[in-house]
Amino acid sequence: MGTFLRAITDGVLEGGVYGLMAVGLTLIFGVLDIINIAQGIMVVLGAYLSYVLWTHLHIDVFVGLLITIPAMFILGVAIQYLFIRPLRGRERTSMSLLASYAVAIITEGILYQTFGSNYLSMSTYWTSPSAEFHVFGYYLPYIYVLGFALAVLFVVAIYFMLYRTQFGRSVRATMQDHTAARLVGIDVNRVAAVTFGIGVAVTAAGGMVYGELYAFNPNTGYDLISRLLAIVILGGMGSIGGALAGSVLVITLASLVDVYWNPEWSTVVFYGALVLVLVFRPQGLFGRREARAQ
Amino acid sequence: MRRPRAITLRLAAVTAASAAVTAACGITHAGTSGLAAGPTGTPITIGISEPLSGPNSAQGFAADGQACLKGYELWASDVNSHGGLLGHPVKLIVMNDRGWPASTIYDYNWLIKHDHVDLVLAPFSSLLTKFAAPTTQKLGYALVAGSAGAPSVFTLGAADHNLFSTTIPVAQELMPFAKWIAGVRGHPLTAAYPMVSDPFADPPVTTAKNYLGTHGIKALLYPGVNGYTKVSNAALTADAKMVVKRNPGIVVLGSVAVPTVELFMHVFALNGYTPKYFIATSGPDQGQAFLNQVGTGNAVGMMVPNGWYGGYANALSHVMVQDYIARYGGTASTINGDVAESYSAGQVIAAAVRATGGTNQAQIIAWLHRPTTSVQTVVGKVAFGPKGDNTLAGQTASVFQWQTPTGGGAPQFVEVLRGNGAVQTTPVTKAPLTKS
């Protein structure tokens, strides 16, 4: 029973961490119709920023989010302005793949030049042996629980922004029809820039948690983006809650396979679940069929 | 108009999934089933966390983690088939940390606090052991590691008191070569020490450079003075040309893979420069992959430090190799060194349990720290210094060289210095490499 519960809690909490990283990707896709291949390296950049603040300025990684989130937001706006906005016409979506890939390559190069190729890891209070909750005889590390809480917080905040604010209405209008939104006076370019900025800003939090859990180097982004894309497709492209739920579901499944079958097969199950969902529910677990049919 | 995009994405996802399935084929099960029948009764439980799978193949550690697990399983099987530990069967409880340092901490906390294991053994890699050791130390457990030799493992403060590493400390890897060359009559008086910035490449080169410096061998190039090289072809080529220009008799290259070595060899050959002795920290040990990359003729003379290997002349190692082949198949030369390293860690903890008559952690730690304590293992005799480093590692450390066998033929990877082979100087008739 203990092993089963451990596998479940592992899956749920780690799923939350991946969900946190995937939320920005699905937001950008949902609003801008863009697959931001650079999202993986942005997560890694977020991890490096937290690392620098913690190592050189001794700023706690959670407090550091007050700096890294705005910084990543500005970076996201700049990327959208410089690389995404100039793309026009029917090939915009496919060209955006190339543009965001270029951003990923440039960022990776800068990180290599700045930090080298060695893996870095953070040994902060949050990953120390004593940083854990003791609940009903189980030990849950703070960082896993807080990572999950951050994921839920961001999902709720983005939902609130989308459905309870004027800007959110503009975003939803833009999601439905760019041209019509422009006709009714919405500054579509501004909406796009801010949304891209928010999508990238979220990676600051995802990157911080990722950096706390994992050793990373500039090359780490590639594996990340393949997993994040799988999660986003599984949850339903453009579905904010779907990203979190899909992530929790598939990582929990992989965690159970890890414990009860064979660790090597957990990766296969991760992607196998994606294939099954695509075959039987092409719009993803929480995506809308009509959205996929547009 | 969006359907093509959806189809493209679906196709990409299916392709990725297919690749993952293909990659997983042929992977062996990593559980603890199939252990030889042994003594009955309350088992002595041993907790282990290993990087067995996960994102980016568990940080690139998955293959090594699986090899380590094989070593632990093989050791447990051998113990159980020989009456167990103090008459109790040994049972391994294995967790997969996916290469996540935080998960390593979580796992050892869980193994000790929740599963109440009697003993723990370390995961693969210095990186993960570095995170495991403070956790096990805090909980009062001894942690014996087989695959943790980076300098950072021996600077953990209080945690070092509980950590015992059987492997050769990375910084000492080149010492057999350095000691040998310092003793060679008429040895070259100059050396170059180019190296990439890497925690496994720099320490042995620096240690060797310091040692050779005290024995009259002048350093003509050392990144501590000239700046670290970057891992780019242009930067490495510039460094290689600098070595050529300074014309040292010995080149000690701090490399992490074949391409770095290949590039230096290529530049040396292009410029007609041949050091009398050329040793690299990594690359030439990659067997056929190295030969394929640099060409068989060019490989001759290249040296590389190495520890345990399948043909290691040690009775315990020989038995383990036979057991391994019986259990997993293959040949002695195909056995991953991680297997022997983790097996040796099991042997050390078993010796401590037998010596102290139980699993009392304080007694085990005290016994392992005793100056008179040494344990015969498959990687040779081991004893531990105050920081848990293997003070007898020099007995295992060796140097290998690619040599042309007598009578000609394909180059062979020969153990020199400690083995039967004699070191050969680098042949001067080298052609520029076709690849670079």
Of B292, B289, B223, B298, residue with least CA distance to B253? B223
pLDDT, average across residues B50-79 = 84
Q: Which amino acid is at A91?
A: E
CB contact under 8 A, B59 and A93: no
- Answer whether B20's CB lies under 8 Å from A270's CB: yes
Averaged over A29-38, what is the pLDDT? Answer: 86
Q: What tokens were used for A203? A: 């990676």
B75: nearest Cα among B118, B121, B108, B114? B121
Structure-token match 């793309």, residue found: A87
Against a cut of 0.80, is the pTM above it?
no
A161-165: long-range contacts at Cβ-Cβ below 8 A with a sequence spacing of 24 or more?
Answer: A161/A198, A162/A240
- Cα–Cα dist B167/B150, whole Å: 10
Residue-wise pLDDT tens digits, B11-64: 444 444 444 443 333 333 334 433 445 677 899 999 999 988 876 666 668 888
Pick from A33, A130, A263: which is nearest to B96 by CB? Answer: A263
CA closest to A33 among chain B residues: B2
Of A116, A226, A262, the CB nearest to B197: A116
Q: Which of B268, B345, B332 lies closest to B301 in space, CA to CA?
A: B268
Given an 8 Å threshold on Cβ–Cβ distance, is B10 in contact with A116?
no
Tell me, what's the pLDDT at B14?
43
The pLDDT-based confidence of B350 (bands split at 50, 70, 90) is: very high
Burial class (CB in 10 A: 0-12, 13-18, 19+), B177: buried
* Residue pairs spanning A and B at CB distance below 8 A: 146
Sheet holding B90-96, edge to edge: B90-96, B44-50, B119-121, B143-145, B163-165
A192 in Cβ contact with A168 (< 8 Å): no
Q: Which parts of chain A fold into alpha helices (H)?
A: 2-32, 39-57, 61-79, 92-115, 142-164, 166-176, 178-183, 188-213, 221-235, 240-260, 263-280, 289-293
Minimal Cβ distance to B102: which of A93, A127, A137: A127
- What six digits make up the tokens of B155? 């600077």
Look at residue B229 in the predicted model and tell me its pLDDT.
Answer: 62
Q: What is the mean pLDDT of chain B?
A: 83
Contact B273, B265 (CB under 8 A): no
Pairwise CA distance, residues A146 & B42, whole Å: 39
| Separation in Å, CA of B262 to nearest CA in chain A | 19
More confident call, A193 vs A260: A193
Selection from B395, B397, B390, B399 nearest residue B417 by Cα: B399
Q: What is the mean pLDDT of residues A147-175?
A: 89
Distance from CA of B141 to the nearest CA of A (A): 13
Name the closest residue on chain A to residue B6, using Cα atoms: A292
Task: Work out the mean pLDDT of chain A and round it to a whole number.
Answer: 87
Minimal C-alpha gap between B10 and chain A (Å): 7
Share of chain A above pLDDT 90, in %: 30
Closest CA to A108 of A274, A236, A224, A265: A224
Q: How confident is the model at residue A35 (pLDDT cuts 50, 70, 90)?
A: confident
Interface contact B199, partner A, CB < 8 A: yes
Are B99 and A214 inside 8 Å of each other by CB? yes
Strands lying side by side in the sheet with B190-192: B218-221, B190-192, B250-253, B277-280, B302-306, B398-403, B412-416
Reply yes or no on whether the pLDDT at B162 is more than 60.
yes
DSSP-assigned letters across all residues of B20-77: HHHHHTTPPP-SSTTPPP---SSPEEEEEEE--S-HHHHHTTHHHHHHHHHHHHHHHH
Residue B410 to residue A214: CA distance in whole angstroms: 43
pLDDT digits (tens, 9 = 90+) for B259-274: 889 889 989 988 989 9
Region B113-138 average pLDDT: 91
Helix orientation angle between B337-356 and B62-81, rounded to the nearest 10 degrees: 40
How close A44 gets to chain B, by Cα (Å)?
A: 14
Q: Beta B375-377 vs B380-382: how paired, if at all?
A: antiparallel
Structural element, H or E, at residue B207: helix B202-213
Tell me the pLDDT tens digit for each residue of B291-349: 888 887 788 889 999 878 888 888 999 999 999 999 988 888 778 888 999 999 999 99
Strand-pairing partners, residue B403, are: B412
> Chain B within 8 Å of A133 (Cβ-Cβ)?
no
> From A139, which residue of chain B is nearest by alpha-carbon distance?
B110
Using an 8 Å Cβ cutoff, are B361 and B117 in contact?
A: no
> End-to-end distance of chain A based on CA atoms, in angstroms?
46
**CB distance B30–A262 less than 8 Å?**
yes
Q: Which residues pair with A141 in a beta bridge?
A: A132
Q: Which residue of B has its CA nearest to A264?
A: B53
Coil, strand or helix: which one is A197? Answer: helix
User: Does B198 have pLDDT greater than 80?
Assistant: no
> Is the confidence at residue B9, as pLDDT, over 70?
no
- Which DSSP symbol is given to A126? G
Q: From start to end of B296-428, where are the E strands?
A: 302-306, 375-377, 380-382, 398-403, 412-416
Q: How far is A179 from chain B (nearest CA, A)?
A: 15
Segment 168-207 of chain A within 8 Å of chain B by CB: none
Q: Is the torsion defined by CA of A161, A162, A167, A171 positive or negative?
A: positive
> What value does the mean pLDDT take over residues A86-97?
81
Instruction: Kindly state whether A130 is in contact with chain B, defined as any CB-CB distance less than 8 angstroms.
Output: yes
Distance of CA B36 to the CA centre of its chain: 28
Contact assessment for residue B53 and residue A263, using Cβ atoms and an 8 Å cutoff: yes
pLDDT of residue A245 exceeding 70, the answer is yes
Instruction: Evaluate if residue A236 carries a pLDDT over 60.
Output: yes
Rounded to a whole number, what is the distance in Å from the CA of A10 to chain B's nearest CA?
9
Tell me the backbone φ, ψ of residue B384, rounded to 5 degrees: -120, 140
How far apart, in whole angstroms, are the C-alpha atoms of residue B381 and residue A102?
53
pLDDT in tens, A111-120: 988 887 778 8
Instruction: Answer whether residue A72 shows pLDDT above 60.
Output: yes
Contact B100 A213 (CB under 8 A): yes
**According to the model, what pLDDT value does residue B129 have?**
93
pLDDT at position A111 is 92
